[in-house]
Amino acid sequence: MTTSLPFRWDLARRQQLGRLLDGPVAESYRGLIDDLRDCCVRVLAQARGSDLAFVGRSPESIYDYLTGVLAGTAHAERCVLLNLSMRHETADEVERTAPANLRALRQQLEHIGLGPAQIAASERPWTFVDLVCGGNTFGNLAGLLAHFAAAEGVDARAVRRRIGFIGIVVRGKNSPNTWRWYQKVPWARDFPRSALRSVSVDAWTWQYLGEYQKKVARWHPPMWWGEEWMAEPPHGESSLQALRLAVRIHQAGRHPAERARFAAALAARPEMKHAWLRRIVHDLRAHPARER
């Protein structure tokens, strides 16, 4: 089986998309950009200067907006999309049923810098970001990295020390009894509390991103890991409509006025006391993005 990365168009190269951008745009809602800005500001603040891996398809728009607003700075290159779905399967289960697929995914992770040895030796930690319901995807992802670490002879503890998780959850009342996704999952005990964080959004935003929104990339469950056709661009009408919306979101992030709003919101965060966040704000203001 030939190892193939799941295909997704590079939105930063809009000129290469040509006539794919002609046609209907996927449905969104008024205020989406404002909601994405608010979410991304808090994701960056919670990430503590780490590199960011957006897991699956639910956070596609968060990634598209953030890479737009960070375009032209060094920080844009520190965001990657990790398109995989493994809410229900563990690495051990995939090993038993489809070992070739697991090997293919291991090569895909290494291609984007997320192999266990790469993480353990990385200059900065990695934070995985996803919409969270119960935390199963994060748990299976942590188990996947531990599985690969054991296969490669890498110290799994060294990998765990270099990763964290940000779960995007539905906003609710803040109280001592508030449900927190990391309090109910056994795998979370392997990580310090500081590695498990949350960013809350309105219920409609969460439902739109996680349930209703058309997606640019194909679903990528274990049964399709490494399949050659996953590397081919999807040309279904749903994917093309999603692509057109994704380009609009990315371009909105690149607009100088939007970047200024984002930088101002980031500068108002209490985390501005840290040098790593001040550097991001400085770079945003020093390198105004341009529309393409």
pLDDT in tens, 80-108: 999 999 988 999 999 999 999 999 999 99
The whole-number pLDDT of residue 41 equals: 98
Instruction: Kindly report the average pLDDT of the chain as a whole number.
Output: 93
Q: What is the CA angle 95-97-98, rounded to 5?
A: 70
The whole-number pLDDT of residue 1 equals: 43
**Rounded distance between C-alpha atoms, residue 8 and residue 20, angstroms:** 13
The answer on pLDDT for 172 being more than 90 is: no
φ/ψ (deg, to 5) at 31: 95, 0
The whole-number pLDDT of residue 96 equals: 95
The answer on pLDDT for 176 being more than 90 is: no
pLDDT in tens, 39-86: 999 999 999 999 999 999 999 999 999 999 999 998 888 999 999 999
- Give the containing element (helix H, strand E) for 253: helix 237-254
Q: What is the CA angle 106-243-126, rounded to 5?
A: 35
Read off the pTM: 0.94
With a pLDDT cut of 70, the percent of the chain lying above it is 95
